[in-house]
Structure 1
């Protein structure tokens, strides 16, 4: 009886082990490779599966999730700059080509690296270091196209390839930064020169407008002085004694002499004033009536008018 119970227990354990060997589970997004007597038999999908114990064996498994692999390689550009390039590959196994993915390639990752090396080292030497940074997306697309063409037959789909990092030598990076800084400084200098040019042009335009307005002011002032002289002469003639023989020419001479001495007084009172030297002997009775002295009369009149302008400017300076 004792031996019977022991035998029954052993048989139960054997049957339990046999039952557990028949049924097995496959995790989600995975495929198990089942072989029978060393030959491929079937693919076990996710969930509960069955096999014949001691006849069917689980040879391996494939993951259907998107995987990634980073490839780092060093190559040279067209302008003889050595760079280190980091390439990230995203790929996955095609479920309908799981057999090819498992049995065609012994080491799919190494195979991916080989094609990446070949593509990048065939593309980068055609580009300069500046163009390399600008066209990294095109390089990544070239790598993807190359891998798609080859790896699809092996049951592997390339999702995306990315050039994640381009690392030149430290001296090269420093030189590129200096070039960039110099270029920016050159542009800044151009902008400063344009701004200074604009300031000079505007100042010249303002000076031009100022000169025009000043000329108009001087002309108006001269007109006002002439008008004032004319009124003063009329008042002098009216207020003078009718019996006196003050002629028009004498009145004009008197006003001119008075204006002349006022100007000299003003010039003497200011050390920084502009001095005007005139011939005192020219103020005789026939000065304004003599035809040969018309040019001299004109010059003296203009000098006196200019002296009035100088006196007005000096007054304005004293106020300021």
Structure 2
């Protein structure tokens, strides 16, 4: 009875040592006396007790790691980077799993090599660029790192899924100077815009004033012409009337100077009614009247000849 109990106990232990449960998203690498033997997939598996050993369990899921490091630009400015790296096992092929299991002594060594490689790639790229260029080269930095890491990671059995530069920052002194540069640039742009707006306003105002002066001058010119034509027509009609009156009086054997005397008296009456205290001297002598009458008669003769 005791022997059967011992045998049953040994059988249970043997079965326990033979069973290997591999979680989903994970594979197990089996070795025989330290030499690679095979790969176990997820689920229930069996191994030979005391001969086969689970060397390493490898996750084939995506993994991420955050990086924080510093680089120096070509003009000796310190740049602080914060990045997130997403990577995974390249595939579940046997050769790929062997590379993942045996390329590095442990996971910590692999992570150290991966992070140092990424940091070195970014530092070498940043060292060729100036401080003012870095912030605009985020996508170029990522592409540069990926181009250098793809082949290397494949040889290790991994694939770089994504690399994100979450933060790119300079030292506080540099950040303050950059802020001042931006502020100065904005102020200069605002001043230029204000100057352009003022120039446009002044130009439009000058154009409007010039147009107003031009229109006013044209209107004054036209008005002067019309006033001159009106005065000329008035004088012409007055001369015609006086000449006709003089002609009639000559035919009636009357003195034509009576016309001038009548006009002279009418003028004095008009000045008296509408004057505002101004003193006006009028020559009412007979000689002056005769002289004016002779001029009017001569003008009448010219008009008669012209017609």
Larger Rg: 2
For residues 89 and 172 of structure 2, the distance between their equivalents in structure 1, rounded to whole angstroms, comes to 39
Cα deviations across residues 30-79 of structure 1 (Å, max 9, x unaligned)? 11111222222211111221101122121211111121222221121112
SS in 1 for 2:259: coil
Runs (5+) with no aligned partner, structure 1? 269-279, 290-320
Question: Are the equivalent residues in 2 in contact too, given 1:137–1:162 (CA < 8 A)?
Answer: no
SS in 2 for 1:152: helix
For residues 11 and 213 of structure 1, the distance between their equivalents in structure 2, rounded to whole angstroms, comes to 126
For residues 246 and 21 of structure 1, the distance between their equivalents in structure 2, rounded to whole angstroms, comes to 155
Paired position in structure 2 for 1:206: 208
Paired position in structure 1 for 2:69: 73
TM-score norm. by structure 2 comes to: 0.73
Cα deviations across residues 222-246 of structure 1 (Å, max 9, x unaligned)? 2343354456554797599946333
Question: Are the equivalent residues in 2 in contact too, given 1:87–1:164 (CA < 8 A)?
Answer: yes
- Offset, 1:16: 2.8
- Equivalence map 1:301-320=2 (5 Å): none
Label 1:283 to 1:41 Cα distance change in 2 as closer, same or farther (>3 A). farther
Question: Are the equivalent residues in 2 in contact too, given 1:115–1:146 (CA < 8 A)?
Answer: no
For residues 84 and 154 of structure 1, the distance between their equivalents in structure 2, rounded to whole angstroms, comes to 28
Is structure 2 residue 143 aligned with structure 1 residue 127?
A: no
Paired position in structure 2 for 1:149: 151
SS in 2 for 1:246: helix
Question: Are the equivalent residues in 2 in contact too, given 1:70–1:88 (CA < 8 A)?
Answer: yes
For residues 260 and 76 of structure 2, the distance between their equivalents in structure 1, rounded to whole angstroms, comes to 105
- Equivalence map 1:1-320=2 (5 Å): 4=1, 7-94=3-90, 95-96=92-93, 97-106=96-105, 107-229=109-231, 234=237, 242=245, 244-246=258-260
Runs (5+) with no aligned partner, structure 2? 250-257, 293-307
What is the RMSD computed on CA atoms of the aligned residues? 3.5
For residues 45 and 139 of structure 1, the distance between their equivalents in structure 2, rounded to whole angstroms, comes to 38
TM-score norm. by structure 1 comes to: 0.71
